[in-house]
């Protein structure tokens, strides 16, 4: 069973979380509400969870939406079985009670959840498809990872499958099946091979999309204007395209897909049909 459309009449996150000034929250954000399971299309540039003294977050906005939708007073429970990096967009799932939170978290821990990403790379990989295997470690005192020797302290194996889908806007579009879940894994593994994700200046990429919204949709262009100087580093061309897991109550398999952000200038339904080959 694949879900790509909103399952309920939607109340926008922007209505209940006006401090988060991103127009993509106004519509299309809710991918699935099925009993205690929620799936949201996270916009790039918005943190999943906050840090002390930080601004608005996706978790805070979803809690506010639940509070408004179900007229709840006080604290609202929200299970958070996984996260996406701030600059990354796409599918993220939440749960509405602790029992289902534990069941979904167990699927992630046992690697029973299939995660597919799309990325625009600044250079085409040497092979049209393949398995990338590296050893990564977090850089101490920094919010980044690096490739290291397998015997290095804190080294963890990182594995992903990829295939080239085509070319777009001078970039290489790839589909990635994530086999492990290391910090910044996709970004680091491709960057280490000279193929950084577009816009990922942290790992050697060039700024992607101008502050004026070059190549973006109208709503996204306005967002760039408001975000100003943080627009480019806040968003990279990495999107969690789909996530497959078992429903925590019925145990049937669900595949949840998220359309690409407007500012990519590329529609998900055109991939594989109108894109020129590499």
Does residue 278 fall inside a structural domain? no
**What is the β-pairing status of strands 2-3 and 30-34?**
unpaired
Average pLDDT, the chain: 82
The pLDDT value recorded for residue 51 is 64
Whether 92 maps to a domain, the answer reads yes
Number of domains in the chain: 1
User: What mean pLDDT is predicted for residues 134-158?
Assistant: 94
Q: How many CB atoms lie within 10 A of CB 117?
A: 24
The verdict on residue 274 lying in a domain is: no
Q: What is the CATH number of the domain that holds 105?
A: 3.30.2350.10
Predicted confidence band of residue 2 (pLDDT cuts 50, 70, 90): low
| Residue 90 domain flag | yes
pLDDT band at 148, cuts 50/70/90? very high
CA angle 171, 177, 182 (to 5 degrees): 95
Helix (H) / strand (E) containing 37? strand 37-42
pLDDT digits (tens, 9 = 90+) for 195-219: 999 999 999 998 876 443 434 344 4
Residue 275 included in any domain: no
Region of poorest pLDDT, from 152-156, 220-224, 262-266: 220-224
Rounded-to-integer distance, Cα 261 and Cα 214, Å? 14
Report the alpha-carbon distance of residue 210 to residue 271 in Å, rounded. Answer: 24
Q: Specify the pLDDT at position 1.
A: 54
- Is 276 within the bounds of a domain? no
Closest to 261 in 3D by CA, of 224, 228, 225: 224
Task: Please tell me the number of Cα atoms within 13 Å of 145 on its side-chain side.
Answer: 26
Model pTM greater than 0.85?
no
Higher model confidence: residue 224 or residue 161? 161
Give the residue with greater pLDDT, 75 vs 10: 75
Q: What would the two tokens of residue 137 be?
A: 């470690």
Inside any domain, residue 94 = yes
Q: Which domain holds residue 52?
A: 2-264
In a domain, 271, yes or no: no
Structure confidence at residue 53 (pLDDT): 52
């Amino acid at each position: 069973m694949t879900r790509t459309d909103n399952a309920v009449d939607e109340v926008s996150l922007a209505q209940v979380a006006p401090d988060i000034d991103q127009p993509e929250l106004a519509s299309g954000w809710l991918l699935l509400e099925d009993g205690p399971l929620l799936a949201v299309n996270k916009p790039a540039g918005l943190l999943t969870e906050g840090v002390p003294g930080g601004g608005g977050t996706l978790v805070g906005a979803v809690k506010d939406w639940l509070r408004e939708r179900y007229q709840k007073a006080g604290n609202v429970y929200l299970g958070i079985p996984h996260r996406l990096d701030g600059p990354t967009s796409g599918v993220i799932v939440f749960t509405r009670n602790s029992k289902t939170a534990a069941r979904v978290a167990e699927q992630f821990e046992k690697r029973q959840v299939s995660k597919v990403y799309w990325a625009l790379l600044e250079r085409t990989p040497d092979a049209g498809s393949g398995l990338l295997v590296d050893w990564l470690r977090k850089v101490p005192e920094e919010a980044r990872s690096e490739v290291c020797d397998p015997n290095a302290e804190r080294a963890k194996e990182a594995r992903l499958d990829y295939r080239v889908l085509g070319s777009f806007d001078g970039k290489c579009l790839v589909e990635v099946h994530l086999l492990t879940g290391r910090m910044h894994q996709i970004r680091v593994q491709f960057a280490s091979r000279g193929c950084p994700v577009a816009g990922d200046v942290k790992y050697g990429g060039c700024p992607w999309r101008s502050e004026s919204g070059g190549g973006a949709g109208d709503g996204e262009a306005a967002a760039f204007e408001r975000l100003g100087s943080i627009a480019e580093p806040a968003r990279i061309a990495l999107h969690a395209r789909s996530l497959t897991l078992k429903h925590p109550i019925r145990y049937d398999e669900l595949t949840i897909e998220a359309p690409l952000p407007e500012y990519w200038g590329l529609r998900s339904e055109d991939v594989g049909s109108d894109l020129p080959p590499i």
